Structure 1
Amino acid sequence: MNFLDFHHDIVNKFMQKNIKINYNKFQMRWPYEDYFNIFNLPNLVTYLEKDLNCKFGNVFIDEIEVKLVDLRALNQNYYQIGVKMINEMTLFDDQLNYYKDFLIYTYSQIKNFINLTFLKWIFHNINHENIIISGREVDIDVYYEVGRLKLENNYILHVIKIIKKLQKIQPEEAEFGNLIEVQKKAILKIQDKIKAIK
């Protein structure tokens, strides 16, 4: 049996299907579809139009779709990296435990990103306003981009955690040290992008 066979069970046990947040006197809901699709765009639009009592224009729906496609690609990319690293573990129990941890972690990261960044980006775009962070007005697109980069940064940090576990299991394997260095360089690039945006 392969640890990947447990994907469906883990997803069904630990992942909510309908998620709600309160923001600026509104309760917004969004339908979590599955690990890879994140949400169905027409369903999200239907939920939010009802919750926010407004109608989204086609151009705005297209903007949301572009961001959704990007999030799906990001999620898929780090899923493949994580699974590749977990496959290097020799014990099935380690594989299964790290896979479960990886799925729950990445799900919680994407869920938090949708709740704390994506939905706020939608809300403030609908209202044609920037967001106030620590008493400072921040362009909502900049806010979104910084949040998106932080999400990617968190994914990389979790991959590093898996690689470090592999390094402990197989200390003679020099490739793991190289992989950690590659991931650390990716983090530095992300941090440079964040600094440049801010």
Structure 2
Amino acid sequence: MNKLKNIQNKVLSNEWATLNRIDYDFQFNDGSWKRISRESYDRGDGACVLLYNKEKSTIILTKQFRMPAYANNKNDGMSIEVCAGAIDNNEAPEVCIIREVEEEVGYKIPKATKVLEAYTSPGAVTEKMFLFVAEYTDAMQVNEGGGLASENEEIEVIEVSFAEAIEMMNNQTIMDAKTIMLLQYAQINNLFIPA
């Protein structure tokens, strides 16, 4: 990109993820160059999935405490979301989400279909989400789910009708962007109407 030069990166924090300060020269459309400084939070990429059952017209969601949501709204910090997780090292996104489904909600799904890739906060976070859909049946349940104690997870598994999930989205009970995108994907593509 010839409108960008003199990029300097400084690590501000390297705890759970990496917070970088990036200074760079950027050329604006009028030809002028300006020195700009931005902070960028790098936690790797992630995968998420809308688990759906066409026969029952249900989906599976998770409910868990999210400190940033609590810090922003001072509510209880509980967030209702689709199953999701961080992609490990060079792991394929589909492998990641199949593993996360078993850990978080207790179902062993054979496959998932990628439907979208998206940055949910490209102004501050490097994470790209790989969004999947996958059918589930009651026979696929292998445990109660709830997440991994080693990852300090305490996840409530929620099975609701698709109609109820849409209402939860509309009344802002669900405020998670990846979940909203997948619910709207299901609406637009008539996921619950037999082919």
TM > 0.5 fold call: no
Higher helix share: 1
Higher strand share: 2
User: TM-score, normalized by length of structure 1?
Assistant: 0.29
User: TM-score, normalized by length of structure 2?
Assistant: 0.30
